[in-house]
Amino acid sequence: MQRVRKQIHFFSESGLKDGEGVTIAALDSGVADHPDLERKVLGFKDFISGGKAAYDDNGHGTHVCGILCGSGKLSEGKYRGMAPGARLVIGKVLDKDGDGSAEIMLSGLDWILEVRERYRIRVLNISVGIGDLRERKKEQALREKIEQVWDSGILVVCAAGNKGPGNGTVSAVGGSPRVVTVGCHDGDYRPGYAGLCAAYSGRGDRNGRVCKPDIVAPGTDIMSCNGDYLRLNGRAGSAYIPKSGTSMATPIVSGAAALAFWQYRWMTNEMCRQKLLFTAADLGLPWNQQGWGMVDVRKLLS
């Protein structure tokens, strides 16, 4: 995360840029009990097995939550998230294998609409690369529900997916004009390395009606909270784990948006979307690969 901060120009000398009072929702595999996420979860609902207490039997969601707002407690701040003052509302829509369904995702989106005012949700993070559903009715239903969430005033930030680099490989729901679709690019990190996320980040349709992705962020070797930490009895070195993909790039943008909502309390989701895009750093790449460019927090908050 220290490397990511340099790449996206996120410098907080005053220590005040933390997103306090902003609520971020995430539909993912859940969230584990991790010291970096202590007292951050305001609400949790399990759409897989109906459990009451928050948990994560896959680890993906915990990693995403750490990027969003982890305190960095166990790393003395080194691996703190983007908006460590923000709070979380988590819907578990993925099982232990990271699998889910359109029906479960729709239920999760309905729940977000139901509780949005109670928890004052400003951002919804969807780090779930929903691919080609092969059933257009389900895909359309998901898009319509996500757009309904957007119309309720929530900024929806969605992963572009990892099916690239072919043309038109953005996630099925990432093609909506009423979401901020996040692709993956690592800037100057590890030049020449074949495994960088830009090699597989979903790309938009060059001839499509909507230009996607909207923006990119780093996504390779992102160090964040390990959902197995407590199960491993807090063994030294097990608190954090690296993961890669557009799933990791997406909470970087969601966290940046939370900082914007914290700084500009009057901002609407559409205003935030425009400011994210118009302040992004152009990487000089094709539009269907980079969108407006790399998220730039310094410009976003200035």
> Looking at this protein, which amino acid is placed at residue 251?
P
Mutual angle of helices 136-151 and 102-119, in 10-degree steps: 10
| From 56, 247, 254, 296, the catalytic residue | 247
Give the C-alpha separation, 70 to 40, whole Å: 9
The SS3 assignment for 126 reads: strand
Q: Return the H-helix or E-strand segment holding 276.
A: helix 269-278
34 classed as catalytic: no
28 classed as catalytic: yes
| From 18, 28, 57, 296, the catalytic residue | 28
238 classed as catalytic: no
The closest of 118, 120, 94, 91 to 26, measured between CA atoms, is 91
Q: What is the DSSP letter of 58?
A: S
Instruction: Give the largest Cα separation in the chain, rounded.
Output: 52
| From 60, 63, 71, 214, the catalytic residue | 60
> Looking at this protein, which amino acid is placed at residue 274?
Q
Measured between alpha carbons, how far is residue 34 from residues 27, 38, 247 in Å? 18, 6, 19
Q: Give yes or no for a contact between 233 and 109, defined as CB atoms under 8 angstroms apart.
A: no
Residues designated as active site: 28, 60, 247
